[in-house]
Amino acid sequence: MHIRPTPHRSKPDSVPFIARLDRRGFIKTSAILAGGLIWQPKSWAAQESFSIKDIRIAKGIAIEADDGTIGTSAGSSFQDLKTLNGHLPKIRELLLGKNPLDFTLAGETLWEAIYPGKVRLFGEGRDPLTGELILNKPRYSGRPGSISRHTPTGRVFIAFSTVDVALWDLRAKLLKKPAYQIIGPGQRNCVPVYWRPGEVGIAPSEAGRKARAAFDRGYRIQKWYFSKGAPDGEAGFKENVELVRVLREELPDATLMFDNHTIRHSDDVEYSLRLLKAVAPYKPFWIEEPICPEHVDGYARIKGETGLTIAGGEHWYTRWAVKPFLDRKCVDFVQSDPMWCGGISEWLKICELVRHYPDVKVVPHITSPWIVAPHCVASQPAELCPLLEYNSENGKDTLEKHMQPLPDSRMGMALPQEPGIA
């Protein structure tokens, strides 16, 4: 079957995965979103008396309450626990004896005490811990020519995220509730998912077969990867375009997104522009990370010249790094990862920020431990967080058992009901 490319429209005719609310639900959610904050959690600290008696760092974080309840988070493999361990005396000073149900205790509590005022430099395009200008530059690891996914500073903030997530796990266990029920107002027992294969560099023909098999199982929303960049020459460029063509011809009715998996390390705006203009006729729902993370000028130019829907943010740390992209109107879906951006508390601050930018949504990147992002998405209204990422390869053991068909034939994830972040 051959499908003739059609002219691209900046917005799709419909957004099939945005949940439709009944009138009562819409009014309730609109009232929540219209308020000063997305959600003001109950003052459980005033009703329940607990205190933090111990904080331990091993492979991750364990925070123990005086009744013996322990909140934990193994955290991301990218975190810098060695640096965090050096700050442990200060962290203990800030948290020991405090009521864990005090929701003002957060990752931000820690980094503002340890690095006061520094995090705001992200919003100015500078590294908060070195002062280095990072705006519009690719991330280098320190070795000549070596590109890095996370910066050394980013790894420190990822470690702070681990403390924050452990606090939320402890709170939910103390309250005997699944975490999503205390994180936010969403109270969504099941959320729609988009499927991604976890494979980069798969041949287009094989991708087509796998995409069809997943679609037939109910995964109507899928994300695939561009694995070739400018160094791969014209052959690599054609392979990227061929991937899109094959998938669209195989799945004409699917919602298809594409991640610039390799290109995100590059500052070659011209290559990204050429590629995205070439694939635009196949109507990708979004293009993810079209250029390296801090390249706000590149994002703005790509958005302006292609009109495509742009997703990004899994590699942005804290809300201060997010705001310049929102202000430039060059990102439509913010993908801040609660395991990387500063923790669940900081992710909620990002949601609060995004709420002020019409038509922008939050769909967090998902990483190990795979269960944190689902709790975050389920905690928020569908208008703000319409969708959950499902890494079907790496997250399968944790998430597959929770997948179930939705009434509209898409696939969704049912949230765990055990206390904590289970």
**Domain CATH for 100:** 3.30.390.10
According to DSSP, the residues that pair with 54 across neighbouring strands are: 64
Over 50: is that where the pLDDT of 23 sits?
A: no
**Final residue of a domain: which of 141, 176, 211?**
176
Segment 252-291, tens digit of pLDDT: 999 999 999 888 889 999 999 999 999 999 999 999 999 9
pLDDT of the residue at 48:
75
Residue 247 sits in the same domain as residue 281: yes
CB 270 within 8 A of CB 232: no
What is the model's pLDDT at position 6?
Answer: 38
Q: Are residues 243 and 386 in the same domain?
A: yes
Last residue of a domain, one of 176, 192, 214: 176
State pLDDT tens for residues 164-193: 999 999 999 999 999 999 999 999 999 999
Buried b (16+ CB within 10 A) or exposed e, 147-171: eeebbebbbbbbbbbbbbbbbbbbb
Strand partners, 412: 192, 404
Mean pLDDT of the chain: 89
CA separation for the pair 112, 261 (Å, rounded): 33
| DSSP-derived pairing of the beta strands 61-65 and 70-73 | antiparallel
The pLDDT score that the predictor gives to residue 288 is 98
Same domain? 314 vs 199: yes
For 222, list phi and psi in degrees, rounded to 5. -135, 150
Residue 293 lies in a domain: yes
Task: Work out how many domains the chain is built from and give that number.
Answer: 2
Arithmetic mean of pLDDT, 21-28:
33
Are residue 156 and residue 286 in the same domain, yes or no?
A: no
Rg (CA), the chain: 21
Total Cβ atoms within 10 A of residue 405: 11
Cβ(345)–Cβ(171) below 8 Å: no
- For 323-376, write each residue's pLDDT tens digit: 999 999 999 999 999 999 999 999 999 999 999 999 999 999 999 999 999 999
Residues 323/329, Cβ–Cβ less than 8 Å: no
Q: What does the alpha-carbon distance between residue 63 and residue 196 come to, in Å, rounded to a whole number?
A: 33
Model pLDDT, residue 264: 87
Residue 116: both structure tokens together: 């006061």
Note the Cα 19 to chain centre separation in Å: 19
**In this structure, what DSSP letter does residue 141 have?**
-
- Helix, strand, or coil here: 78? coil
Do 80 and 123 share a structural domain? yes
Q: Which of 149, 176, 203 is the last residue of a domain?
A: 176
Distance CA 301, CA 305 (A): 6
**pLDDT given for residue 44 in this prediction:** 64
Domain boundaries, position 120: 44-176
**Tokens at 20, concatenated:** 């439709």
Q: What is the pLDDT of residues 77-99, one digit of tens each?
A: 999 999 999 999 999 999 999 99
Average pLDDT, stretch 105-130? 97
DSSP string, 275-311: HHHHHGGG--SEEE--S-TT-HHHHHHHHHHH---EE
Is 0.95 surpassed by the pTM of this model? no
d(CA 256, CA 247): 8
- CATH number of the domain encompassing residue 231: 3.20.20.120
The H or E element containing residue 394 is: none
How do residues 380-415 score in pLDDT, each as one tens digit? 999 999 999 999 999 999 999 999 999 988 999 999
Residue 4 scores a pLDDT above 90:
no
Q: Could you tell me if 151 and 234 lie in one domain? A: no
DSSP state of 105: -
In a domain, 19, yes or no: no
Same domain membership, residue 228 and residue 156: no
Q: Are residues 313 and 214 in the same domain?
A: yes
At residue 199, what are phi and psi to the nearest 5 degrees? Answer: -120, 135
Q: What is the pLDDT of residue 9?
A: 35
pLDDT band per the 50, 70, 90 thresholds, residue 38: very low
Residue 287 lies inside a defined structural domain of this protein: yes
Q: How far apart are CA 28 and CA 350, in angstroms?
A: 21
Do residues 161 and 198 both lie within one domain?
A: no
